[in-house]
Amino acid sequence: MTRVVIIGAGISGLATAYAVEQLAAQAELEVQTLVLEKLDRTGGKIWSRRENGFLCEWGPNGFLDNKPMTLELCDSLGISDQLLRSDDNARKRFIYSEQVLHQLPENGPAFLKSKLISWPGKLRLACEPLIPKRTDQSDETLAEFGRRRLGNEALNKLIAPMVSGIFAGDPETMSLKSCFKRIYELEQEYGGLIKAMVRLAKQKKADIKAGKAVASAAGPGGILTSFQEGIQQLTEGVGKGLQGEIKLTSAVSKIEQKSGGYILTLESGEQLDAEIVVSAVPAYAAATMLAENSEKTSAMLKQIPYATMNVICFGYQRERITHNLDGFGYLIPKAEGRSTLGTLWDSSIFPNRAPEGHVLLRSMMGGATNMGAIDLSEEEVKKRTMDDLWQIMRIAAKPDFVRIFRHPHAIPQYTRGHAARVEAIEDSLRGQPDLLLTGNAFFGVGLNDCVNNSNLTAQKVIERLKIHQSKC
Ligand SMILES: Cc1cc2nc3c(=O)[nH]c(=O)nc-3n(C[C@H](O)[C@H](O)[C@H](O)COP(=O)(O)OP(=O)(O)OC[C@H]3O[C@@H](n4cnc5c(N)ncnc54)[C@H](O)[C@@H]3O)c2cc1C
């Protein structure tokens, strides 16, 4: 029996362990998995807590259904019947600009009508097909790409808020290729984004005519999907689906190579043997564990920065809020000078997030452009959030319920040079094929990306298992 130890019980570690067990069973390989987790709970960034009837998500509140990975995982676990799709109204997303909440236009005519982008800004956007494709292969930042192809206004009012919504990131430092690979590819393949949209729409029409299956009707955004009792049901489901053990409060401090495998030293001093090790912890944590094993790998892992984030949950009696809360919520461009990055109308997105007659709002504060927010006192975070809610939605009422979550290491930042850094990290471990790295620090931060990357890592583990077991 080959022992595979997975370090970290976030979605990446759990999904890797599950995929290893499933693939090993299919290939008739003998495997024993063990997941080691530092905290006294599984889930990592995923943690759904119901307090006073409000269901507060510590981190993510769902995944998008436009990629198959997480949906397939749910199918395999037999928990698809518990999935909860977001309300249809939650397709409406807003941007706060020049003291008005503007609905994000979903099509050409709505875009022309929208007052979010000025006429000169719209004209600049309309020139996008005339901008030649970039031939320089160096890693471009999202801000450089936005300015070059779409103009300053679109960068500030559309791209930058989207980057803060997904990565809590700063477009001036983030890599286009690593954050939005598809957008990079569209420019390379079609010469521009509008050209790509026109060609792809034509292709889709032709495919429908020819009776071919086409991508989800929900379009590129997909539908935000969770569970009745929050996204934690996903990681709980994976945990329950595992044959192997999950050891909680078992932080790994060191990974040492020995003949035929590895010795893992826990913070408690306990030592464990493993033939194959998968690290699914954040990059800075992996750097610490690998400090002695590979100084070079450790140093490069440390170069992946993380943004901080405060998540502020406010519960109100519905009648005390005049705003209709009809939609998903809003993002705020940096130029508006507000303290928060945006607010999700959580109880409008999923129906049961607040008790009867109440609503739940969830604001985000911090990110790469406001790293100091993590150090603000509870009172200050609350005051600044309430000030924003007043300015933006005219909410003057004091919340009946407040919960503030802090993420000192919220989301890894794929800054310029990220892809080359990840390649160099992988290269530095070529001589240790039984030591693998996975998790959201490398190839995508969305839950779908984490599950996808876990599946790919599990396939590598299976290849190694075959080699190990052929030697026996
Ligand atoms: C506020 C917020 C909102 C988000 N919203 C969304 C969203 O709506 N949709 C979406 O798709 N994504 C969202 N994300 C991103 C997504 O949640 C994460 O990318 C994903 O959950 C990361 O999973 P992971 O398993 O790779 O890492 P983590 O969840 O960070 O798990 C790593 C695990 O390793 C453990 N660990 C650390 N050190 C050690 C050690 N030494 N020994 C043992 N264990 C250790 C940690 O305790 C943790 O459990 C959000 C993230 C944040 C912070």
Residues in the chain where the model's pLDDT stays below 50: 216-220
> Which helix (H) or strand (E) covers residue 423, if one does?
helix 418-428
CA of 46 to the centre of ligand 1 (A): 6
Q: Using CA atoms, how far apart are residues 303 and 301, in angstroms rounded to an integer?
A: 5
Q: What pLDDT is attached to residue 219?
A: 41
Q: Cβ distance 115 to 99 under 8 Å?
A: no
pLDDT digits (tens, 9 = 90+) for 161-190: 999 999 999 999 999 999 999 999 999 999
* 411 touches ligand 1 (CB under 6 Å): yes
Torsion region of 260: left, alpha or beta (phi above 0 gives left; psi -120 to 50 gives alpha):
left
Considering the domain 48-89+305-412, what is its CATH architecture? Alpha-Beta Complex (3.90)
Distances (CA, A) of 288 to 274, 295, 438: 19, 10, 15
- The structure tokens listed for 422 are 């990840």
Q: What pLDDT is attached to residue 210?
A: 83
In this structure, whether the domain defined by 2-44+234-304+414-471 belongs to CATH 3.40.309.10 is answered with: no
CA of 323 to the centre of ligand 1 (A): 33
Q: What pLDDT is attached to residue 218?
A: 34
Helix (H, G, I), strand (E, B) or coil at 82: helix
Closest CA to 152 of 122, 174, 179, 182: 122
* 60 touches ligand 1 (CB under 6 Å): yes
Please list, in sequence order, all residues whose beta carbon lies within 8 angstroms of the beta carbon of residue 377, skipping any fewer than 6 positions away: none
pLDDT digits (tens, 9 = 90+) for 283-338: 999 999 999 999 999 999 999 999 999 999 999 999 999 999 999 999 999 999 99
Closest CA to 283 of 310, 309, 301, 270: 301
The protein residue whose alpha carbon is closest to atom 35 in ligand 1 is 8
* 36 touches ligand 1 (CB under 6 Å): yes
CA of 44 to the centre of ligand 1 (A): 5
Q: What pLDDT is attached to residue 213?
A: 61
Return residue ranges of the chain for CATH 1.10.3110.10.
117-209
Q: What angle do CA 190, 195, 196 make, to 5 degrees?
A: 60
Return residue ranges of the chain for CATH 3.50.50.60.
2-44+234-304+414-471
CA of 12 to the centre of ligand 1 (A): 8
- The structure tokens listed for 213 are 């299956």
Closest CA to 329 of 292, 368, 361, 282: 361
Q: Cβ distance 193 to 127 under 8 Å?
A: no
**Which of 16, 41, 42, 45 best tests ligand 1's pocket when mutated (most atoms within 8 Å of CB)?**
45
The protein residue whose alpha carbon is closest to atom 48 in ligand 1 is 44
Fold for the domain defined by 117-209: protoporphyrinogen ix oxidase, domain 3 (1.10.3110)
